[in-house]
Structure 1
Amino acid sequence: MPAEIRHLEEETMGTFLRQFVFLFVGIVLRWPLWLVIGILGRFGFCRMIFLVYPTDELECSAFCPNIKLLRRFFSGRPTPGGLIMQGFFPLGFYLVIPDLPEELAGKKNRELAQAIVRRLLWIRRLAGAQTIGLAGRLGPIFSRRHNIDMAPPLFSSINGNIFSIHEAIRRVSSARCISRMGAKIAIIGGGEMGLGLQQFLEKSGSRCRTVNVRFSRSGKIYPLVEEESRASLAEADLIVNLLPRGEDFLHGDFHRIASPQAAVIDFSRPAVEQSRVRQQLYFGNRLQRPGSRFMPALPGGWQQQQLPACSLPAMLAMLSGQVCEELEVFCRLARSYCFESSLADLTPAHAVSLHEVPEFSAGGEAVGGFE
């Protein structure tokens, strides 16, 4: 118990410190900091910027105190939150907005979304950055809800997310001695990303089923095809949770339907709590690369060396100078730049080596570059 209290106290102090730095930088040092960023950018110290957002009020409070006046001031204004480092050399920095995705998705907030993109492009020009990465659901929200073109230098998250999940599946399959041809995979939710992931995995010979869901007004979640979905979940060796929040997975009772022996690759934020499910949980949205880190680490249990999967498209384009439209080519390029799942430290089972878990050799070229 004392250890838990000590951990809670450290977490609270870390939140207060992060809030203080965020407010000091965002209010007192706002314009001097832009000046410094502009100067450093001329010397090549900023090659990418990455925009993050909170998924709920708790994550939002990790940066900005829950004070209406402050939230209104920072709304739609990307504010520096930390550095993206490669060793001791900065590759760029990440920015924070306090706006929740539900707020940004509203059509009445189209001007807010357009203002965010306009400010990102201004920051990119100021800093001399090559690419702009958009975390999580920002890309789909901007493109589908507000008709903002997702073209370089703006990079949405989908390819990075699919790469991260596929790498996590490879690692978990190896660690749990699951053959690639025999693996049964159930994908819960995900929309366009879920469909893309299913097609990508089926090319490797995996048997995938998508469990489409609907949300009730009360927040309860139901599979669209009840019996078929229950059968898919009950038989699955691996379950990929693409629902937005960990609570959604619990509210849908998917953990009760699935086999206790199944592994759950969780892509939700905030994540599913391990103590509340019978299955073993693995993070599917975290990557790593030798020497790369976010400093300070993102809130929500992230470590500095853990890179958000959604940052990969912008980071890879910045490092390689290439824009990959084909997913297979994108994944090969990411591996060639040493990106891998943060689960790479899982001990592989001797019966199944990583060479038996599929990689892709489909043809295709990287297309285009960016200005």
Structure 2
Amino acid sequence: MTTTDSFRGLVCTATDERYDATATGTSDAGARLEAAYDYDAVDWGDGRLDGAPRSMWRYADLLAFADPVTADEGGTPLVPTPTLAEEVGIGRLSIKDESRNPTGTVLDRGLSPAVTAAQAADADLVALATPGNAGQSAASYAGIADLRSYAFVPSRAPFSNKAMVNVHGGDMRVAGGRYPEAETALHEQLESEWYTLQEFENPHRHDGIKTVAFEIAESCSWSRPDAVVVPAGTGEVVAGVVKGFHELREIGLIDALPPVYAAQPSGCAPLAAAFERGADAAEPWQSPDTIVGELEIPEPKGDQAALSAVAETGGEIRTVDDEDALESAVVAAQHAGLEVGPAGGVAVAAAGELATDGIVGPDDHVVVVNTESGTKTADVLRSHLMGKGI
């Protein structure tokens, strides 16, 4: 296993005890593991990234593995959307379009190093439970690494995700019900020993997602936008993006963190409810009900990480109704030419709410992260239009 020169191991967030790069689960103290780096060894100023790959591995100095399992994930565009900006009253509105990743999701950034860790650990089998996108992504990277993979998905997962798990060579098991039933099925039905690719159990997932922040800042000439809006389900995208901005501050490329606003569907919003209570952990959401399946996570593993991350930036956690999320995704497609999924629509709608409430305005640059391709759930978006008589 070859790690990068700046990587210092996985660190217990409670005790600072260090663990090997392939460790999974919690620390001996029962706390979350985080990838740690020597920030003094990293210098990206004065054109030092010139000639680096146009992928997330452009930033390999702040990633764990020197020889990753990769399909050139990352390097996605930050797309200006002046028509949308004018409609909602924001000076500049840009969409970080993660639909351009190899399997159409921001999660590719995390599954690439997570599967690399599995390969380094000499794993034979990798597995996870997922609402959909992570299973497709995991199967893709496991296929590149020649590893067996299992994805347990709820029955309501999009057909495209289910089909592509198999197309990429992975095994899939469908659990009746919703995401919690898929998690239960993973632990009850998979009898072989497996290396986990689950969010936060495998810390490289959100560590890879931090490269979204690196790319946003570099696209803005190493400055920070006035606000970043991110859809939130498990909490890994929120935690990863904030970690990225934190590390940019550590190496001196930005002077402060931008406010990061997380957005959840109102039908399943445990992080928003916890934030409103001022709690540092979320309570399980009773009776989750949202069309945005990727964000229907009633008991997010990254609740504490996401809540503390948002608070650190001075942001908030907002809720959006399903109809507003779907309409925002459709409007983004029609006026910005982007295939925004329902999860991205949640973030676009939340940005509009921030403008309505005067939190962002005509002088601000707001970045919205579109976490998935709209083609994954084209039937959902089309049904929304049919409901309007279109």
Q: Is the TM-score greater than 0.5?
A: no
Whose radius of gyration is greater, 1 or 2? Answer: 1
With the length of structure 2 as denominator, give the TM-score of the two structures: 0.28
More helix by share: 1
With the length of structure 1 as denominator, give the TM-score of the two structures: 0.29
